[in-house]
Amino acid sequence: MASALARILKSEGVEVYTCLAGRSTKTVELAQYSGVNICPSSHQLADISDIVLAAVVPAQAVNVAKIIGKNFKGLYVDLNNVSPSTVKEALHQISNGKTVDAAIMGSVTRGESVPIIASGKYASDFAELNRLGMNIEVVGDEVGQASAVKMLRSVYTKGVSALLFESLYAAYQMKIDDLVLKYLAETEGPNFTELATSRIKNSIFHGERRTQEIGEVLNFLSEYEDPLMTQATFNFFRLIVDQVGPIEKKPDDYRELFRKFSEK
Amino acid sequence: MASALARILKSEGVEVYTCLAGRSTKTVELAQYSGVNICPSSHQLADISDIVLAAVVPAQAVNVAKIIGKNFKGLYVDLNNVSPSTVKEALHQISNGKTVDAAIMGSVTRGESVPIIASGKYASDFAELNRLGMNIEVVGDEVGQASAVKMLRSVYTKGVSALLFESLYAAYQMKIDDLVLKYLAETEGPNFTELATSRIKNSIFHGERRTQEIGEVLNFLSEYEDPLMTQATFNFFRLIVDQVGPIEKKPDDYRELFRKFSEK
């Protein structure tokens, strides 16, 4: 994710640095591929940067902010996939207070136009990067809003994936899955079938990561209501991971996954 | 439902009869309005009819079939909103075996073109009524398939209503519901916002009936899998009915329902 953004900024002539201490092999490879400059430490990175974009695994969001935060003079943007309360905790570590809550709303592989939303008093400073090929929309002046929009969208999209699986897995056993998809498409719109089958395949392929993400969403929602549906979505993804386990390749036909699921 | 179908058939010159013994005041009024002929008893109705369309409350589906079934010579079509196993039980009462499982797939108020799906060996006989203004599609040759398609569609649509409520109720409390709807519309399609807000309003307005329908779906799904999502959908609708109770008028703005929900 970060390396794709780095490539966009580099192509616009921005000097991009990263620190690879303690990062995964995949992150190291992607950083080398994108050709960014490497800093030996996060402290040094903070010293020479005008803007820090933090994009790490959710569990490291607060730690990274602690390391950068003490003497950093620039703008700190949290791009991590974490809940509003974790964002607030992370941004609280940045002593100059120049912080932005941001969330990537699409796939980075689509290129320069990947939509990012941002909130907080300094979000418009971050949105200056739109002149350098980025696609940032300021959605509010409070930290937490951008992350919340992303999480609440995923309540819906991940829940829908689970509903589709539940409906079509029974339909598959009765050999009427084509019919159910057809009649759903009549109310849900012409792209429904393609989106639906891709969602079923992704549910299983990314099951492990989805389960973790929904766990984070569940904690967040519990502050506002009794999240009956999201609890079920979480249980569903956990069941999928337990029953099917990691799969190496996304199958062409969603029915292959149903077969696999029914065999366990 | 039945009275609307009766009006279509009458307008095509078909002689339509009904029996009103033990029916609700609303059904009696609708029958009088549609101008169908009244039979004093179901036995007599069976004697004079070539086709019986059974459209009663779910709890009466099997009883009505018992009353009609013994000496009926014609085609018996179960249009009731019941599970495949209930349809099978009902149709088993029709001793001549000329039976059709059928399901209304849209709103009857849209007029003649309301889509109906039908299954079973005699479904194509029922589809002959397409020459008389009806819109029947034969979807399979087994009784139970048409009802199953309708139920599995509702696993999705009713679950989606519950997901929307859960996501947007938290968003409403954070005053970012417009943003969540906007970003969902970007992946879900241009009609998303209208469909979504209408689903939230309908969830509460028809909460009582929805809860009963999902109870029926839940029993059906349990034969095929552990219905985690549909169980949550059922619990959600029960909660809505308990917290908000029946409302007299569908509000213009879905936020009114969130206000009502948060007050309880």
| Reported confidence tier of residue B166, pLDDT bands at 50, 70, 90 | very high
Residue among A110, A156, A180 with most chain B CBs within 10 A, to mutate = A156
HSE, CB side, 13 Å, CA atoms: give it for residue A39. 15
| Neighboring chain B residues of A171 at a CB cutoff of 8 Å | 148-149, 152
Question: For each successive 10 residues of chain A (264 residues), what is the average pLDDT?
Answer: 80 90 81 84 91 90 93 95 94 97 77 83 97 93 97 96 96 96 88 90 84 91 97 95 84 89 82
Residue by residue, DSSP assigns A62-73 as HHHHHHHHTT--
Q: What is the pTM of this model?
A: 0.90
| Neighboring chain B residues of A179 at a CB cutoff of 8 Å | 117, 139-140, 145, 149
Q: How far is A36 from chain B (nearest CA, A)?
A: 31
Residue A18, sorted as left (phi over 0), alpha (psi -120 to 50) or beta, turns out to be beta
Summarised one tens digit per residue, pLDDT across range B145-155 is 999 999 999 99
Tell me how far apart the alpha carbons of residues B220 and B144 are, in angstroms, rounded to a whole number: 11
Q: Do A164 and B183 touch (CB under 8 A)?
A: no
Nearest by CB: A228 against B160, B224, B235: B235
Q: Do A221 and B170 touch (CB under 8 A)?
A: yes
Summarised one tens digit per residue, pLDDT across range B201-214 is 888 888 888 888 89
Residue among A101, A172, A179, A244 with most chain B CBs within 10 A, to mutate = A179
Closest residue in chain A to residue B140, using alpha carbons only: A176
User: What pLDDT does A1 receive?
Assistant: 64
Q: Tell me the mean pLDDT in the region B79-96.
A: 95
The C-alpha angle A10, A15, A19, rounded to 5 degrees, equals 100
Q: How far is B155 from chain A (nearest CA, A)?
A: 6
In sequence order, what are the residues at sequence separation of 6 or more whose Cβ sits closer than 8 angstroms to the Cβ of residue A1? A55, A79, A104, A108
User: What pLDDT does B111 receive?
Assistant: 52
User: What pLDDT does B191 receive?
Assistant: 84
| Neighboring chain B residues of A139 at a CB cutoff of 8 Å | 176, 179
As given in the structure block, the two tokens for residue B4 are: 């609307």
Q: Do B162 and A239 touch (CB under 8 A)?
A: no
Instruction: Classify strands A37-39 and A17-19 as parallel, antiparallel or unpaired.
Output: parallel
Q: Do B179 and A227 touch (CB under 8 A)?
A: no
Q: Do B221 and A166 touch (CB under 8 A)?
A: yes
User: What pLDDT does A86 receive?
Assistant: 94
| Neighboring chain A residues of B230 at a CB cutoff of 8 Å | 166
Matching residue, tokens 């969001």: A61
Q: Do A224 and B170 touch (CB under 8 A)?
A: yes
Nearest by CB: A170 against B152, B160, B173: B152
Closest residue in chain B to residue A174, using alpha carbons only: B145
Q: Do A176 and B139 touch (CB under 8 A)?
A: yes
Instruction: Classify strands B115-119 and B135-140 as parallel, antiparallel or unpaired.
Output: parallel
- Answer yes or no: are the C-beta atoms of B236 and A159 closer than 8 Å: no
User: What pLDDT does B264 receive?
Assistant: 67
User: What pLDDT does A108 receive?
Assistant: 53
Q: Which long-range contacts (CB under 8 A, 24 or more apart) does B32-37 make?
A: B33/B3, B34/B3, B34/B4, B34/B6, B34/B7, B34/B10, B35/B7, B35/B10, B36/B3, B36/B6, B36/B10
Q: Do A149 and B229 touch (CB under 8 A)?
A: no
Q: Do A183 and B149 touch (CB under 8 A)?
A: yes
Report the Cα B148 to chain-centroid distance in Å. 12
User: What pLDDT does B34 receive?
Assistant: 79
User: What pLDDT does A120 receive?
Assistant: 98
Cα A97 to Cα A50, A88, A213, distances in angstroms: 14, 11, 27
| Reported confidence tier of residue B103, pLDDT bands at 50, 70, 90 | very high
Q: Do B156 and A176 touch (CB under 8 A)?
A: no
Q: How far is B132 from chain A (nearest CA, A)?
A: 23
Nearest by CB: A179 against B149, B225, B226: B149
Tell me how far apart the alpha carbons of residues B263 and B244 are, in angstroms, rounded to a whole number: 9
Residue among B200, B228, B264 with most chain A CBs within 10 A, to mutate = B228
Torsion of CA A128, A130, A131, A134, to 10 degrees: 130
As given in the structure block, the two tokens for residue A241 are: 């991971």
